[in-house]
Amino acid sequence: MTALRSDLAIIAREVRAHARILDVGCGDGLLMAALRDTKNVDARGMELNARDVATAVARGLSVVQGDADTDLADYPDGSFDYAILSQTLQTTKRPDLVLDHLVRIGRQAFVSFPNFAQWRMRLAHMFGGRMPVTEQLPHTWYDTPNIHHVTIDDFRSFLDERHIKIEGQWFLSGDKPRNERLANLLAEHAVFLLRRD
């Protein structure tokens, strides 16, 4: 099996066995397949890209082609143990509404995103005077799918405003875990486990 991206590996590790999960923006279903095979979960996915959906369905996964911005409303409250949004938040039109749906549909929600306040980003911006193009965010300003960049501190203050509880948080530099200290400056990626208060 292909090794999971480091943020997905954290989610895969933390999910309870036999849970019901909804992976929003599931791509070709790598995380879902891993969770199905290792944790025996009942996994459902949503993905915008038709080719990725076809690959996921051909893998035997239940994936519907849909848009996180418009197609989450039909899922009933608390219909999944976990709703998962990995590396997708920053690509949505209304991340705030997507997050509301996520903590509504899932009893808990995993959200992972690239931290736009990581020091390399800050340097690129401050000294380069250009929109950062890095390994984790390799797109140029005009073709990036990431239309709502967010930092760890932004995200935390948003959760605070919305009364969403943090039940777990993990930070990554490259593939290496790092602690919470100065995460907003040092972490490239963040993974949060959330619950609606």
Give me the residues that bind another protein (CB under 8 A), please: 42, 44, 50, 53-54, 56-66, 71, 74-76, 79
Rounded least distance, CB 147 to another protein, Å: 23
Phi, psi of 65 (to 5 degrees): -75, 120
Question: Dmax over Cα atoms in the chain, in whole Å?
Answer: 49
Q: Which one, 106 or 114, has the nearer CB to another protein?
A: 106
- CB-nearer residue toward another protein: 66 or 122: 66
By C-beta, is 54 or 117 nearer to another protein? 54
Tokens of 195: 């619950």
Mapped onto helix, strand or coil, the DSSP state of residue 25 is: coil
Closest CB to another protein among 46 and 121? 46
Rounded to a whole number of angstroms, the minimum distance from the CB of residue 63 to another protein is 5
Tokens 């875990």, residue located: 177
Report the SS3 class of residue 63.
strand
Q: What is the DSSP letter of 91?
A: G
Q: How far is the CB of 64 from another protein (least distance, A)?
A: 4
